[in-house]
Amino acid sequence: MFLLGEIVSVVSGKGGVGKTTIALNVAAALKKMGYESIVVEGNVTSPTASLYLGYMPAHRTINNVLNGDFALDEVILEHDSGVKLVTCSLALPELAANYNKAFTMLRKLKEKADLVLVDAGAGLGEEARSAIDISDFVLVVTNPEMPSVIDALRCVRLARAMKKKVLGIVVNRVNVSLPQVPVKEIEEIAEAPVLAEIREDRAVHESFSYNFPVTHFRPNSRAGNEISRLAALLVGEEFQSKENSFLDRLNFWLHRVKIKALP
């Protein structure tokens, strides 16, 4: 794959599968590889991407652009991890009537990044459809349970009905100790290839508890490695996985001490 200069919507048939986690972590991994990407909050009725990164609330949003307060360039937030984010207000009435206009405006971001990732609204409602509509490609996130896999199939078929190319499926929160749907069966049911299997990993929860993506904070963790491999795949690069070394664990601990010491 070589998706530079494109918009990829990250979608799921239901909430809670880790779609936002994947979008933010892919962006952080791309930044470490030297690529500029922007994550767009496409879940306007329940925005969470900004909260994952510690913006509570974000002081500049797409709402400010719609109101004429700022230009689009001015509402691109840059996190300490290097992740760039365009989010929306937590106050639903401020955007509900205008989000179709907002989504259309966001196509301009293609000129400002190597890759734009839209964290679409969960499900197949109007928000998700709007995100898919402005995108060039679609990446589907699922969990390895049958209801979630069926929802992934619905996403795949919706995207194709809207004439969008489906890159494939990311299977998130894989737990080998539990009975779960095998990858081959997921591919057969969802009618698309599985691009990555992200193991359930405590490092993901630890990293986001300190408002950092795991691919930045714990890059050599199991989940960090696999999401970084996915990011490399999207831009046509090879990725060499690494084990989480003692120095990585020490660095993570030092970060925790530093963050806890902040006022």
Domain regions of the chain by residue span: 6-261
Look at residue 258 and tell me whether its pLDDT is greater than 50: no
Look at residue 257 and tell me whether its pLDDT is greater than 50: no
Q: Are 5 and 160 in contact (CB under 8 A)?
A: no
pLDDT tens-place string over residues 184-227? 999 999 999 999 999 999 999 999 999 999 999 999 999 999 99
CATH superfamily of the domain spanning 6-261: P-loop containing nucleotide triphosphate hydrolases (3.40.50.300)
pLDDT tens-place string over residues 22-55? 999 999 999 999 999 999 999 887 889 999 999 9
What pLDDT was estimated at residue 255? 47
For 227-247, letters b (16+ CB in 10 Å) and e give: bbbbbbbbbeeeeeeeebeee
pLDDT tens-place string over residues 169-185? 999 999 989 999 999 99
Determine the 3-state secondary structure of 38 from DSSP. Answer: strand
CB pairs under 8 A, 24+ apart, for 256-259?
Answer: 256/210, 259/210
Cβ-based neighbour number of residue 156 at 10 Å = 22
Is the bond into 57 cis (omega within 30 degrees of 0)? yes
What one-character-per-residue DSSP string does 169-188 give? Answer: EEEEEE-TTS----HHHHHH
